[in-house]
Chain A
Amino acid sequence: MRYLPLTDTDRRAMLAKIGVPSIDSLYRDVPEVAWLAGPVDLPPHQGELEVERAIGALAAKNMGSSAVPSFLGAGAYRHHVPAAVDHLIQRGEFLTSYTPYQPEVSQGTLQYLFEFQTQICLITGMEVANASMYDGATATAEAVMMADRVTRRRRAVISGNLHPHYREICQTHARFLDFKLAIGEPDPAGRQDLAGLIDSETSCVVVQNPDFFGNLRDQSKLAEACHRAGALLIVAVTEPVSLGLVEPPGAMGADIVTAEGQPIGNALTYGGPYLGLFATREKYLRQMPGRLVGETADVDGKRGWVLTLSTREQHIRREKATSNICTNSGLCALAFTIHLTLLGEAGLVRLAEINHATTVRLAERLSALAGCRIVSESFFNEFTLRLPKPAAEVVEQLAKNRILGGVPVSRLYPKRPDLADLLLVSAGECTTDADMEALLGALKEVL
């Protein structure tokens, strides 16, 4: 078997050294009743070619979004990733290393995470960032739990325009940690004022910018209202490319910024693995979840990096840790940081401008279709389109024409008939004029 280097000769020699007659005798502590006499009922081993064929056959049953005109967003966005990114993250020294607990032989990982933390601070306008979390949604739930620790309060206000998955994860944690949530109504035009929901027990207010329906909103006034009441403002960003063009949450007074990092450097891969970005103010540093890399020096005085402030973490604090999280999303963070390094200041701004301009053009053309209306008052690279009929049906018909036409809001709000005609539509640098023509043409037929 190609991944197993021991030969039968090796095995015999090793058993002789150990002083046992067989490998089975090494398992003597396993009770007989639990021991399987033969292989389980699964197929036997296969060569590379056979495995590649089998998984290739499964892939062929899907409609890959890069093969067709695609306008999907709702928290995951397709962008062109430079070839260098995927090449570099497959270097074995990155791919096959562990968490950098031994800093002398992990300076590569530690240095890129330090650079990553700095990049996250810069794009979000915040003071400190961790070395990444599972995804944007779980990072947001961690932010809510952190706000509880900081304020010692147990009631979070959640915008109705927060991505429903993000909200649902907060609800799951709230149920098991016995904290309360006040949840706003979904508001496709993005006008809802949450300040009225804040009370003296409120630990935080969670908003998304651009929000689930695409709207951009100045959160400064809400930040002031939060701070007057002693609560934190958490701003979630599901599309970090927007931060190239849009005022960052840090400049609007956010106390914690969480984001989905996938759109920079990472493939869609049907929803994971992604990476969560997490940034906050320095004064809340010690209540932060997740890993942190800090600068220091070695015994020769040379600059180097280490994991730091791990007294917050589970392997030291056990049940008193700030979070049970053990891993981050190291390799996804590497892809993110390499892509952002290649983009740099000029590239991120340009990429954001292209995304916005393309989406504005698409919005203009779609709003000219009979019975269609753009609901979002402002947007970055995704907006909400009101259709004259249920969006889910339209999307199914478009898929039959090999077009991935957008995400029907009903997929995430199935019990809200008032939202059934709404379609989330996203465009970007991958969207060609031909893609737009295809969507417009197909919609004319379907509607």
Chain B
Amino acid sequence: MADPVKGAIPAATYTGNRGLAIEEPLIFEQDMPGRCGVDLPAPAKVEDRLGGLRRRGPIGLPGLAEPQAIRHYTRLSQKNYSIDTGVYPLGSCTMKHNPRLNEKLARMPGLADLHPMQPISTVQGALELIDLLAHWLKTLTGMPAVAMSPAAGAHGELCGVMAIRAALEHRGDRRRRILVPESAHGTNPATAAACGFEVDSIPADAQGRVDLAAYRAKLGGDVAGIMITNPNTCGLFESDFERIAEDMHKAGGFVYGDGANFNAIVGHVRPGHLGVDCMHINLHKTFSTPHGGGGPGSGPVVLSEALAPFAPLPYVVHGNQGFSLVEQDDGGTSLGRLKGFHGQMGMFIRALAYMMSHGADGLRQVANDAVLNANYLMACLGEELTSAFAGPCMHEALFDDRFLKNSGVSTLDFAKAMIDEGFHPMTMYFPLVVHGALLMEPTETESKDALDQFIGALISLARRAKGGEGAAFHEAPVLTPRRRLDETAAARRPVLRWQPPQGRAAE
């Protein structure tokens, strides 16, 4: 007998909307000249001083009133998945809860309204805050110095690699080869290249770690350093890290630590004790500043004694007169300036609030629970999915696509089917050293209940894939505002901006 409700679901609606899934046109398609979302007074009448450069034509911006704008962005927000919505297990991205206290504090008068060029005497609290955050970062990493200005993880990498090159040049050394494990994030080789280095890749061993013999074979007088992530992107601790660092130092090179995965070891392991010379810390990962749909991030870089003299400008110092900001380097060894003004202050406030909330004890618990959650996933899913390497893992669990063999379902299909179950997919096809990789990082802020539901959904999907339902996976997702999008067409004939309809002038 036909399901009466199913029969009543309309094939199409007049509006195109489907209940709460509401279609939303572009702002440019809602334009009405003369409409405005702000009320501003008439300007004073003056003779202009624009030097004859007054704009000649209209700009072409649309006019919307405030209610329309609010509705537009509210509807757009409802087309996004987020941490606030549900489990967001993107491996290597550390999508943990973003506390709202941090948002509140970053907006406080006395912080949000500080101009970067105010006299130093009027920003003593701001400099103290930067200095305090620096103290936490140095203490947690066991490193003597930190460069606070880099704007993001990749920017921090650039800072660290530049510091290495500056140190080499300072001693008259022209080494130009940087070793990067195959499992590294793409930013590592891109950064080394952006700093004038040649990239030499090191293979992984069968246990998912740096192949020590292959690494040692590459060491020589032309090697500037290694960029190495620990725990690595396979979710494993590089247990030979100290040996790797020691060998690099003996060969005269430096060790760049990629701190993307610091969440697994914060409070337990100080990278400084492992022989790291510099390491960026993604405040937007370990220290919970929001990812914001792709930034802004913040990537302070801790530095060893050997690299500290090459730190970028500016930096905060504390003297008899209180705090001051060193913005010029008179004949010194600083690598120079990397960022306008002084760094991502708004992110510093949020990260410090997060650290103070957890404290030394809570940060250890953060790492513990992150590692526990990942191992729980690995244990519960290991029976249906195929683990890439033997555990225990650190804060993320890596699977390969052997469990999908002969099912006709790819890692991509599997990920898209997770969306219909109400989850954001894990990181897929990364790291490159594993076939069809599925990299899951639950973080410490997921409850056991949420993980159990996630695990149940993944097991159900894996069984369906193996049970001959592969064809359905090719259609997924089917319950989203948009189904699979044609990325090939987007790249072949790029449409990167709205254009007025034919007949209206573009400019």
Contact = CB atoms under 8 A, between A and B. Distances in A.
A176 B70 contact: no
A195 interface: no
B229 interface: no
Given A105-B419, A342-B69, A345-B60, A98 B293 contact: yes
Given A270-B111, A271-B342, A345 B61 contact: yes
Nearest to A134: B151
B3 interface: no
Interface stretch (A36-44, A151-159, A438-446): A36-44
Interface stretch (A18-26, A180-188, A223-231): A18-26
A285 to B, nearest CB: 7
A134 B339 contact: yes
A155 B139 CA distance: 43
Given A20-B375, A43-B360, 15 more contacts: A3-B357, A4-B362, A20-B392, A23-B371, A39-B363, A57-B125, A100-B293, A107-B79, A135-B151, A138-B340, A172-B337, A270-B115, A297-B486, A342-B66, A344-B37
A69 interface: no
A273 B346 contact: yes
B362 to A, nearest CB: 4
B400 to A, nearest CB: 19
A62 B38 contact: no
Contacts of B58: 345
Interface in B36-70: 36-38, 40-41, 43-64, 66, 69-70
A6 B448 contact: yes
Contacts of A356: 43, 46, 48-50
A211 B300 CA distance: 31
Contacts of B195: 176-177
A237 to B, nearest CB: 13
B248 interface: no
Nearest to A56: B108
Interface string B4-48: 000000000000000000001011100001111110110111111
Interface stretch (B91-99, B210-218, B249-257): B91-99
A106 B340 contact: no
Contacts of A213: none
A332 B345 CA distance: 14
B59 A10 contact: no
Contacts of B295: 99, 132, 273, 327-332
The secondary structure that dominates the B interface is: loop
Interface in A197-232: 215-218
Contact of B379 (A18, A46, A135): A18
A308 interface: yes
Q: Please indicate which of the listed interface residues A6, A42, A96, A108 has the most CB atoms of chain B within 10 Å of its own CB.
A: A96
Given A43-B356, A273-B298, A3 B199 contact: no
B347 A273 contact: yes
A343 B186 contact: no
A131 to B, nearest CB: 8
Contacts of A95: 82, 84, 98, 103, 290, 292
A350 B63 CA distance: 13
Interface string A115-130: 1011101110101110
A418 interface: no
B180 to A, nearest CB: 8
Contacts of B378: 18
A134 B296 CA distance: 7
B491 A75 contact: no
Contacts of A326: 152-154, 185-187
A418 to B, nearest CB: 17
A316 interface: yes
B302 interface: no
B196 interface: yes
B153 to A, nearest CB: 7
Given A104-B482, A218-B53, A357 B267 contact: no
B64 A48 contact: no
A268 interface: yes
Contact of B270 (A36, A176, A299): A36
B269 A36 contact: yes
A434 interface: no
B220 interface: no
Contacts of B450: 5
B61 A348 contact: yes
A88 B291 CA distance: 15
Nearest to B97: A3
Contacts of B467: none
A270 B108 CA distance: 12
Given A5-B445, A55-B105, A96 B128 contact: no
Contact of B346 (A42, A125, A272): A272
A18 B376 CA distance: 6
A356 to B, nearest CB: 6
Interface in B131-179: 132, 136, 139-140, 151-155, 157-158, 162, 165
Nearest to A178: B196
Ordered nearest first, which 6 A-B pairs have the shortest CB separation? Answer: A378-B51, A271-B341, A331-B292, A61-B125, A92-B84, A137-B340
Contact of B66 (A84, A123, A268, A327): A84
Q: Please indicate which of the listed interface residues A64, A175, A324, A361 has the most CB atoms of chain B within 10 Å of its own CB.
A: A324
B290 A82 contact: no
Contacts of B154: 314, 324-327
A52 B121 contact: no
Contacts of A429: 40
Contacts of B481: 104, 107
B366 A4 contact: yes
A30 B237 contact: yes
A20 B267 CA distance: 21
Nearest to B416: A104
A155 B497 CA distance: 32
Nearest to A300: B483
9 contacts: A3-B444, A51-B356, A106-B79, A172-B336, A246-B50, A273-B344, A313-B186, A314-B187, A315-B187
Nearest to A127: B497
Contact of A327 (B50, B95, B297, B490): B297
B2 interface: no
B365 A4 contact: yes
Nearest to A140: B340
A13 B380 CA distance: 12
Interface in A157-192: 163, 165-166, 168-169, 171-172, 175-178
Nearest to A102: B425
B359 interface: yes
A14 B376 contact: yes
Contact of A112 (B76, B107, B117, B445): B76
Q: Please indicate which of the listed interface residues B72, B360, B419 has the most CB atoms of chain A within 10 Å of its own CB.
A: B360
Interface in A301-358: 302, 304-306, 308-309, 311, 313-321, 323-332, 334, 338, 340-351, 353-354, 356-358
B53 A378 contact: yes
B487 A118 contact: no
A39 B487 contact: no
A74 B117 contact: yes
Contacts of A396: 119, 121
Interface string B430-467: 10000000000000111110100000000000000000
B352 interface: yes
Given A31-B239, A345-B60, A172 B129 contact: no
